[in-house]
């Protein structure tokens, strides 16, 4: 019997390279701790609102905003981004910035207008879910410097600071407050699912040098927030919500002017 030897030399099996997808599917403790803390703060806001502790509920949602902003930056700084972390963060956002603000403002004043109140709260919750779903599906293709639609944390900031402001000044008993709160809730919801562009601050380098006046401005912001936190925070979140509308209007007006100038001989 004749044995035929292969002309190719035998080689030892090479070790398989580490799959990048498997590495990204791991679970990292540090960023997920902040995500869990944000989820806890949002859930606590719901519990506090059920107990009519509206100031604590509003502060809890604002704390969830701070923690939500930290988990992503910490994941990027420590190179611990993962698909699990992204999905967990999105689910946490749905509770902290979708359900919690809607239930808090419903318990505070929207329950006084019956069906209109809970429908306005539902519109906000549904808009937050749609906003997060659109963000997840377009995250890889959109410009990182801008958000499409009002971010859900900023929308939650508008609602939470409104509740805090109204509770501080005793506006709950006023007759027009539930109607105005319902209109504002629906308006914020529409901004979340709109095509209005908002600056994301993701290209802001905290390690870069800044002028001295920038540090002074930060100090003044802290001073103003300490003097009247509810009013100042509502003003800041309201200005941010309006900034995207103004920027989008200005960009469209400039493009129309450029098109008219191009057609003019």
Q: Is the pLDDT at 3 greater than 80, yes or no?
A: no
Phi and psi, residue 199, nearest 5°: -65, 135
Residue 49, classified by CB atoms within 10 Å of its CB into exposed (0-12), middle (13-18) or buried (19+), is buried
**What is the pLDDT averaged over residues 4-21?**
46
pLDDT digit string, tens, across residues 89-127: 999 999 999 999 999 999 999 999 889 999 999 999 999
Distances (CA, A) of 156 to 60, 93, 160, 213, 234: 11, 10, 6, 30, 11
**The predicted structure's pLDDT at residue 214:** 78
**The predicted structure's pLDDT at residue 171:** 80
Q: CA-CA distance, 91 to 136, in Å (whole number)?
A: 11
Q: Which domains does the chain show, CATH number per domain? A: 29-201+211-263 (1.20.120.1760)
C-beta separation of 232 from 168 below 8 A: no
Alpha helix ranges (H) inside 16-151: 20-24, 29-50, 54-77, 83-93, 100-108, 115-138
Quote the tokens at residue 64: 């969830």
**The predicted structure's pLDDT at residue 216:** 86
* pLDDT-based confidence at residue 11 (cuts at 50, 70, 90): very low
Q: Is the pLDDT at 213 greater than 80, yes or no?
A: yes
**The predicted structure's pLDDT at residue 18:** 40
Percent of the chain with pLDDT over 90: 51
* pLDDT-based confidence at residue 238 (cuts at 50, 70, 90): very high
pLDDT digit string, tens, across residues 19-73: 444 445 567 888 899 999 999 999 999 999 999 999 999 999 999 999 998 888 8
Strand-strand pairing, 197-199 and 146-148: antiparallel
Q: Is the pLDDT at 142 greater than 90, yes or no?
A: no
Of 26 and 246, the one with more pLDDT = 246
**The predicted structure's pLDDT at residue 248:** 86
Minimal CA–CA distance to 112: which of 184, 186, 179, 183? 179
Of 50 and 13, the one with more pLDDT = 50
Of 196 and 28, the one with more pLDDT = 196
C-beta separation of 149 from 195 below 8 A: yes
**What is the pLDDT averaged over residues 230-246?**
93
**The predicted structure's pLDDT at residue 174:** 67
b/e map of 157-180 (b: 16 or more CB within 10 Å)?
Answer: bbbbbbbbbbbeeebeeeeebbbe
C-beta separation of 25 from 83 below 8 A: yes
**The predicted structure's pLDDT at residue 173:** 60
């Amino acid at each position: 019997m004749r044995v035929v030897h292969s002309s190719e030399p035998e080689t030892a099996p090479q070790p398989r390279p580490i799959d990048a997808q498997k590495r990204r599917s791991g679970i990292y403790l540090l960023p997920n701790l902040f995500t869990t803390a944000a989820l806890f703060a949002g859930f606590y806001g719901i519990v506090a609102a059920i107990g009519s502790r509206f100031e604590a509920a509003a502060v809890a949602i604002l704390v969830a905003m701070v923690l939500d902003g930290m988990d992503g930056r910490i994941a990027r700084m420590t190179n611990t981004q993962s698909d699990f972390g992204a999905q967990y963060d999105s689910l946490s956002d749905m509770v902290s910035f979708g359900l919690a603000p809607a239930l808090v403002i419903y318990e505070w004043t929207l329950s006084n207008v019956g069906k209109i109140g809970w429908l306005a709260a539902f519109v906000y919750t549904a808009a937050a879910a749609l906003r997060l779903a659109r963000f997840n599906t377009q995250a890889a293709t959109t410009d990182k410097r801008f958000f499409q639609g009002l971010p859900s944390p900023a929308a939650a900031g508008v609602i939470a600071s409104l509740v805090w402001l109204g509770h501080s000044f005793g506006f709950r008993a006023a007759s027009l407050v539930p109607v105005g709160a319902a209109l504002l809730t629906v308006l914020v919801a529409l901004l979340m699912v709109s095509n209005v562009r908002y600056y994301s601050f993701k290209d802001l380098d905290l390690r870069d040098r800044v002028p001295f006046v920038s540090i002074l401005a930060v100090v003044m912001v802290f001073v103003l927030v300490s003097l009247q936190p509810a009013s100042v925070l509502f003003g800041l979140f309201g200005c941010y919500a309006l900034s995207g509308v103004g920027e989008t209007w200005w960009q469209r007006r400039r493009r129309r002017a450029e098109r008219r100038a191009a057609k003019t001989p």
